[in-house]
Structure 1
């Protein structure tokens, strides 16, 4: 069944990208709050006469709490940045690169097993990149026209 093997080989780059995307979505960071709760429970169990150990464990707990607060602040900043994104020149660069990759792939030998599948994927990606680039260009033009029409004080 060489036809089935060629079909599997043709879809390998796309399947690999999809699996990587799924894996990236399922990765979870360690639960820092649970670790802090366990450390505080351990701190209560350490006898009072072991003051040095209690002080060191309290220092570790304080460091974890400080890092949790810093992470929350950083997360808020990243969320604000992501929500304020309006599209810019990078979308246009990605669109141009997608067009160039599609043209290059057109010139690859068409008898390759994965040629058609990859060409279709490149066309879809080029269209998506074009939509994002066009949307950013329209927003930039609208902002420019609105500033131009606004009365100057």
Structure 2
């Protein structure tokens, strides 16, 4: 049984990182449209003689609508930015760092309980970073070749 416990403890940092990634992917923004609808319903229920309270609630509703419009605009900008991303020098730096850390990890004593698991994860991450960096380099080279062909054609 100590072997299973050691294996579980060895995988804890990797599992924690995976759980953090899953949690980050599942975070949902508040339902602003639902809150606006609830606030508008509440505004209708406030008696007309409470002018000050109605005005403050209307101000809150207006702020939420403005936030919704701003959020949609920012989301559109982020999607356009992500779609136009071609890769850059940071991809290459991440790949080099992943390879170097894998080399450093190779020189750590192999008797550690988490050595094999972490080494496998580092190899996989190095491969993924290499693919991503190569993709960026190929896109950059293809755009450079296209621009040179366009210059030569003129």
TM-score normalised by the shorter chain: which range applies?
Answer: over 0.9
- What are the Cα deviations for residues 65-106 of structure 1, in whole angstroms up to 9, with x where unaligned? 000100010011001111111111111010000011101101
Tell me the equivalent position of 1:22.
22
Tell me the equivalent position of 2:51.
51
Tell me the equivalent position of 1:41.
41
CA distance in 2, matches of 1:4, 1:105: 22
Tell me the equivalent position of 1:8.
8
Structure 2 residue 64 is matched with structure 1 residue 69: no
RMSD over aligned CA atoms reads: 1.1
Q: Which runs of 5+ in 2 are unaligned?
A: none
Q: Tell me the secondary structure at the aligned position of residue 110 of structure 2.
A: coil
- Using the size of structure 2 for normalisation, the TM-score is 0.95
CA distance in 2, matches of 1:113, 1:18: 19
Q: Which runs of 5+ in 1 are unaligned?
A: none
Tell me the equivalent position of 2:87.
87
Q: CA shift at 1:151, angstroms?
A: 3.4
- Using the size of structure 1 for normalisation, the TM-score is 0.95
Which sits farther off after the overlay, 16-25 or 107-116?
Answer: 16-25
Aligned residue pairs total 153
The runs of at least 4 aligned residues of structure 1 exceeding 4 Å deviation read none
CA distance in 1, matches of 2:63, 2:44: 18
